Chain A
Amino acid sequence: MDAVFNGLLEVLSLSNLLVIVLSLLLGVVVGCIPGLTVTLGIILLLPLTYSFTSPSTAIIALLSVYVGGMYGGSISAILLNTPGTNAAITTTFDGYPLAKKGKVKKALDVSLFASVVGGVLASLLLLFTSGFISKMVSNFTSTEYYALAILGISLIAGVSSSNILKGVIGGLIGLFISVVGLDSVTGVSRFSFNTMLFYEGITIMPAMIAFIALTQVMVKSRDFINAKGKHEEVSKIDNEGITGKERKSILPAIFRSTAIASLIGTMPGVGGGVAQFLCYNEAKRASKHPEEFGKGSLEGVAAAEASNNAVVGTAMIPLLTLGIPGDGVTAILLGAFILHGIIPGPTMFTKQATTAYAIICGILIANILLYLIGVIFTKQVAKIVQVRYSYLGPLIIAFCFAGAFAANGSPYEIILMLGILVLSYILTVLDISVIPIMLGMILAPIMEQNFINSMIIYDGDLLIFFKRPISLVILVLTVVLVWSFTKVNRKVDKMNQAHEEELHEAELHDSF
């Protein structure tokens, strides 16, 4: 209890609150501009957090970008019919029709209210369960941790790619990249090809920037050039906000979505992309007015937005308690934790308990402050939703290079980043997702360390991972979950496709 109180006190300092507000604002801006993603926002902010004296402040800042970005994604979904984030796809289903009816302010209000309620409830869930879960897993040994790392990497590799084998290859590429350089146990160099370039290995920061930020800029710039800079018309914001009665009417949808999304958020590898579809469908099924869904239902917007913000909170449960990221964004966050010297997992709740609870309280406070930010700034932020990409792309590139160099001040980092960028382009052409690669890189040191420890303790017995019961259960669970989530993902893809076809047919019908 002391740790919770100390953590809360740490967050409530004036400087931390200011950091949260500014990061939330950055998140909302990044989330609302199509082409800028939450992941990109986190990667851009990460080098700047090196100057923060407290690692928890740095992590809270990054998490606030995540929270703000999830809400920001709904702004462009409503105004432009273009989701700012992947987790805001279902927001377009009803948000944009509402905007077309001239009810932009109402849609944005619903989105903000649902985001905040979903986010706060999920943060409370995180606060009350994480300590308990970490206690439960505190007896895990290196064998179980190795199995957990396998679980995390397999799930994300399995579900983030269109083909499971390609996903696994991605994860293995990440593991291989991290093998390059000096072996931490024996001190021998691995695949350094006798050059200083590879001798110290390939660090996470330039890889994150190349694989995610610069690749996104490259793809977005390509599309911008090919579209000759044209973009869709933005809807104007009116003044008619949500009424008290409407607020009450959407509460069941919000609570239901929060419950489903919270459960899904705790499962490594699933994330907000899947949660939103399941929540939207459940809200439609349980609604008294299912016929309004897809035509501007307030419940539809609420269900979608509550789900994606709820996922932010509960996705942190496996990350903080087990050290296993829930989705691509939390994988990047795990990298940020490691860069700031924080090792998530049960030991974090014993050795760095104040930091752990400061981070959790930070998410809670960020969700509460999101309401304030939303009320004050949404109208202003909405004006930049249509900013030309040519104004942003070049500056993001400059920022990426500065950030990559800042990581440890070595020109080698820049050279490696360029090489990784070329590799990333080839992988994009080959339809191989880079998220499993990043996760492979981030989890590799944890995996290797635990593997080596297990081998030393159990005298090189490779079958030990199948002999210890908990480890065996985790490995069996890995296979079962990868299989079932791949099926769920396919189902969700079909649902999305069916909705797009429905919309297309409706548009054709309208045009006649």
Chain B
Amino acid sequence: MRIKTNLTSGIIFGVLSIILLLLVPAQVAIPTFDTGGPSPRIIPYLVLSGMLLCSIGLIVESLVFKREKVVVFDFKVEKAGLLVLGLVLLFGILMVQFGYIVGVVVVLPLLLHALGERKPFIYIFTLAGGIGVYYLFIEIFNISLPAFGG
């Protein structure tokens, strides 16, 4: 799949900035007292207006000036990236729900398998390393991590 990145970025961020601009009154309340400072809405309005202008610029650049950066999204290549992304997301979900150690024990072997490793030693080394990171934070640096139970 060929992606015209200037046009696509322009459309995505243009639409997003319009939606967020419309949401400003609902999402940023005006304080009932006078703070002496500018409204809390001013920065969101400035930022989102800037984003909208740049998005329009990208669309004009692509459609009018025919300046475009085309990226080929090859699913065969990206499949591996999406798989790793999925495993990283799984690690996060497991860590929040069941704790860091569970994330290490479940996800790291799956990741090693995806990376093509088959030797048992590497699995043992990685698991020991992952658990070692836990003890590094807890014991040496006195920073707490959820081991089990989220």
A→B interface (CB under 8 Å): 47-48, 50-51, 162-163, 165-166, 168-169, 172-173, 175-176, 179, 183, 185-193, 214, 217-219, 221-222, 224-226, 228-229, 389-391, 393-395, 397-399, 401-402, 405-406, 409, 411, 414-415, 417-418, 421-422, 425, 429-432, 448, 451-452, 455-456, 460
Q: Contact: A47 with B84, CB < 8 Å? A: no
B22 CB-CB contact with A under 8 Å: no
CB neighbours (8 Å) of A411 from chain B are 95-96, 146, 150
Cβ contact within 8 Å between B27 and A191: yes
21 intermolecular pairs with C-beta atoms under 8 Å apart: A172-B48, A175-B43, A175-B47, A176-B44, A176-B48, A186-B31, A188-B29, A188-B31, A189-B29, A221-B114, A222-B77, A228-B116, A393-B115, A398-B100, A401-B100, A402-B137, A405-B95, A411-B146, A418-B92, A421-B85, A422-B89
> In the complex, A397 Cα to B127 Cα: how many Å?
12
7 A-B pairs closest in CB distance: A222-B81, A225-B80, A390-B115, A51-B141, A398-B130, A406-B143, A183-B40
Is chain B's binding surface mostly helix, strand, loop or mixed?
A: helix
**Smallest Cβ-Cβ distance to A421: which chain B residue:** B88
Q: Are A172 and B50 in contact (CB under 8 A)?
A: yes
**Which residues from chain B contact A51 at a C-beta distance below 8 Å?**
140-143
- Please, how many angstroms separate the alpha-carbon atoms of A253 and B9 in the complex? 44
A-side contacts of B78, CB under 8 Å:
222
Residues of A within 8 A of B137 (CB): 47-48, 402, 406
CB-contact partner of A401 in B23, B50, B95, under 8 A: B95
Q: B92 — which chain A residues lie within 8 A by C-beta?
A: 401, 414-415, 417-418
Cross-chain contact A390 with B9 (CB below 8 angstroms)? no
Complex Cα distance, B38 from A460, in Å, reads: 7
> Beyond A394-B112, A414-B95, is A402–B37 a contact (Cβ under 8 Å)?
no
Q: Which residues of B contact A189 (CB under 8 A)?
A: 28-29
Among A175, A193, A402, the one with the most B-chain Cβ atoms within 10 Å of its Cβ is A402
* B 34-68 to A, binary, CB cutoff 8 A, 1 in contact else 0: 01111010011001101100110110010000000
Given contacts A185-B37, A391-B122, contact A402 B134 (CB under 8 A): yes
Name the residue on A nearest B61 (C-beta).
A165
Whether a CB of chain A sits under 8 angstroms from the CB of B15 is no
A214 CB to closest chain B CB (Å) equals: 6
A contact residues around B28 at 8 Å (CB): 183, 188-191
CB distance from B79 to the nearest CB of A (A): 9
Query: Which of A183, A409, A425 is most buried by chain B, counting CB atoms within 10 A of its CB?
Result: A183
A172 to B16, CA, bound (A): 12
A415 with B96, Cβ < 8 A, contacts A172-B50, A394-B130 known: yes
A431 to B10 alpha-carbon distance, docked (Å): 12
B133: CB under 8 A from chain A? yes
For B142, the chain A residues whose CB sits under 8 A away are 51
Q: Determine whether the beta carbon of A222 is less than 8 Å from that of B80.
A: yes
The answer to whether A172 and B54 touch across the interface, beta carbons within 8 angstroms, is: yes
With the chains together, A417 CA to B126 CA distance in Å? Answer: 23
A190 touches B40 (CB 8 A): yes
Residues of B within 8 A of A405 (CB): 95, 100, 145-146
A176 to B48, CA, bound (A): 8
Question: Once bound together, how far apart are the Cα atoms of A106 and B21, in whole Å?
Answer: 60
Closest to B111 in A: A394
Do residues B133 and A163 form an inter-chain contact, with CB atoms below 8 A?
Answer: no
- Choose from B9, B29, B36 the contact partner of A166 (Cβ within 8 Å): B9
Tell me if B3 counts as interface (CB < 8 A to partner A).
yes
A163 to B112, CA, bound (A): 36
Most buried by A among B47, B95, B116: B47
Residues in B whose Cβ lies below 8 Å from that of A391: 122, 125-126
- Do A169 and B54 touch (CB < 8 A)? yes
Beyond the given pairs A190-B44, A225-B114, 10 more chain A to chain B contacts, judged by CB atoms under 8 angstroms and listed by A's residue number, are: A166-B6, A172-B50, A176-B48, A186-B31, A190-B40, A217-B84, A394-B108, A397-B107, A397-B111, A430-B12
List of B residues within 8 angstroms of A431 by Cβ: 5, 9, 69, 71
With beta carbons under 8 angstroms apart, the residue of A168, A190, A214, A226 that contacts B50 is: A168
A451 to B39, CA, bound (A): 12
Q: How far is the CB of A503 from chain B (nearest CB, A)?
A: 24
Across the interface, do B145 and A390 meet the contact criterion of CB distance under 8 Å? no
Give which listed residue, A221, A415, A430, A456, contacts B36 with CB less than 8 A.
Answer: A456
Docked Cα-Cα span, A25 to B99, in Å, equals 32
- B contact residues around A225 at 8 Å (CB): 80, 83-84, 114-116
Q: Is the CB of A397 within 8 A of B91?
A: yes
* Contact assessment for A224 and B47 in the assembled complex, using a CB-CB cutoff below 8 Å: no
Are B88 and A179 closer than 8 Å at their CB atoms?
A: no
The answer to whether B38 touches A218, judged by C-beta atoms less than 8 angstroms apart, is no
CA distance A176 to B134 in the complex (A): 34
In the assembled complex, the Cα of A48 lies from the Cα of B134 at a distance in Å of 12
